[in-house]
Structure 1
Amino acid sequence: MAPAMMSSPASSPPPLDPDSAPLSPEPRILKSRLVAGETLYGLFLLCSSPTLAEITGLAGYNYVVVDMEHGSGGIVEALPCLRALAATRTPAILRLPKLSAAWAKKALDLGPQGLMFPMIESPDAAETSLLLSALAKKFAIFSLSSPRP
């Protein structure tokens, strides 16, 4: 091995501190900041690249919306993006492609900190989104794919 490639004990990384390790962001933090009237800055992620998701998380945004309505990815591509954002402790909101219970359930299985419902253009659509939000809060069950414990 070349001398430049050798590692010495002094250059070893420090042991991992569990208190400073990247963890999934606490969902209530985003909500409490919004309720407090704090101005938050976010970004819409239209591509399904976990690398770009990680970069946006590291850029310091308060949240990132992973857009499945206008973006190029679907539910399968959203999971790696949510995991990349969780690694940076950036809250992720998942924008659904359609207002439906089926999409809401699939999205909740991925463990985002929030859902954004598309095309709320009528009182019926608003009522449906409120119902899905209430059901999500009460009955959310996370699968093995979820980044949450």
Structure 2
Amino acid sequence: MPSLKSRIIARDECFGLFCSIPSAVALEQVAAAGYDFVIIDLEHTLISPEQVETMILAAHGAQLAVLVRVPPQTPHLVVQLLDAGVAGIVFARIDDAQQAQQAVELCHYAPLGQRGLNATRASRYGMGGLTEATRRAATETLVVIMVESRQGLDNIESIAPTEGVDVVLEGAADLSQSLDLTWQTSHPQVQAAVERVCVATQTAGKAFCAIPRELDDMQRWRGKRVSLFVIGDDRGVMRRAHLAHLSAHKE
């Protein structure tokens, strides 16, 4: 099965979902629905390490690629999550090229980074060949950064070309707040900022990941050669499904 990173490089359309519900069953249902990847969200949840590991194992069992979003200033989580077998890390609130470089160094072994060596799940705890596991990590580990602030927007042309950064994921919600337009993600100023991030990312030869908030957004992003999408959060999908289900029966 091709890695998520190889599919992104090949410009396959890939659809993902933020996962905030700490449940193996919920992840299995996401996989059964046909999503290509999930992003377990540790920035806005209280999901415990034990719950995260269960979610990772469930995703692996369902052949679903799993990324994890980590809060700012939590470098200790990165190596633990990668050693547990995630496909990559999503770094929230990257504001400059130095922070982007630090993200790369946390995720990769030498010479690109400084990740510590260990026998991990990826190498079957040493039984699968440590050298081969290290080589595979170099080609398959995804480094995803989010640009979510006015400072990040001002620095995007220097952030995006950072060697080792694979994907830039938009952060229109926090960006709207930074632009004094809180939650006005469709405001022309916010949309222009997100498109600037997209252009800088693609100019640097990296993949841009969009978060379409309306169905009409899909064609707009496809017209801009975007093929990587995060299309919601599992809690929101569940909420809308429950409301629609109940409403249909009440009618």
Q: TM-score, normalised by structure 2?
A: 0.43
Q: 1:45 aligns with which of 19, 40, 57?
A: 19
Change (3 A) 1:62 1:148: farther
1:74-111 CA-to-partner distances (Å, cap 9, x unmatched) read: 32210111111111101111112334431111112211
RMSD of aligned C-alpha atoms?
Answer: 2.3
Of 30, 48, 52, the residue aligned with 1:78 is: 52
Distance 1:46 1:147 in 2: 24
* Distance in 2 (alpha carbons) for counterparts of 1:60 and 1:109: 26
Q: Is the 8 A contact 2:38 2:67 kept in 1?
A: yes
Secondary structure class of the residue paired with 1:41: strand
Preserved CA contact (<8 Å) 1:45 1:66? yes
1:106 paired with 2:83, answer no
Within a 5 Å distance, the mapping from 1:27-42 to structure 2 comes to 29-42=3-16
Bigger CA drift: 101-110 or 128-137?
128-137
Q: Could you say which residue in structure 2 is the equivalent of 1:9?
A: none
SS state of the match for residue 39, structure 2? Answer: strand
Partner of residue 36, structure 2: 62
The equivalent residue for 1:126 is 100
SS at match of 1:54: helix
Matched-pair contact (CA < 8 Å) for 1:91–1:113: yes
Matched residues in 2 for 1:44 and 1:37: separation? 21
Structure 1 or 2: larger strand share? 2
Paired residue secondary structure (2:67):
strand
Q: How does 1:17-36 map to 2 (within 5 A)?
A: 29-36=3-10
For 1:8, the equivalent position in structure 2 comes to: none
Structure 2: which 5+ runs fail to align?
A: 125-251
Letter in 1 for 2:91: F
DSSP 3-state at the match of 2:83: helix
Instruction: Measure, in 2, the Cα distance between the counterparts of 1:130 and 1:62.
Output: 23
Correspondence 1:130-149 to 2 at 5 A: 130-135=104-109, 139-143=116-120, 146=121, 149=124
Check whether the contact 2:106–2:115 (CA below 8 A) recurs between aligned residues: no
| Gaps in structure 1 of 5+ consecutive residues | 1-25
Contact 1:66 1:94 in 2 (8 A): yes
Q: TM-score normalised to the size of structure 1?
A: 0.70
Q: CA deviation at 1:139?
A: 4.4
Q: What letter is aligned with 1:63? A: F
State, as a whole percentage, how many aligned pairs show the same letter.
23
The letter of the residue matching 1:118 is A
Cα distance in structure 1, aligned partners of 2:114 and 2:61: 24
